Structure 1
Amino acid sequence: MFLPFGALKRPLPIRFSIIAAALPALCFAQDAPASATEDGMDVQCQIRTDETSGFVRLDAVAVSNASITGTYQLQVVKRGTGGSSQNLQSGRFALAAGRPEVLSSVILDASAHNAYAARLDVAWDKGTRTCTTP
Structure 2
Amino acid sequence: MNLLSTRIKYILDNEFQGDVHGKQIQLSKIAGASKSVVNQWISDRIKSLNIDYALNIEKKLGYDHIWLITGKGPIKLKDRPRDWPFAISRALFDQLDESDKKDIDRYIKMVFRDWQERNKNTTSPGKSRKVG
TM, length-normalised to structure 2: 0.19
Give the structure with the higher percent strand. Answer: 1
Is the helix fraction higher in 1 or 2? Answer: 2
Greater length-normalized contact order (CA 8 Å, ≥ 6 residues apart): 1
TM-score normalised to the size of structure 1?
A: 0.18
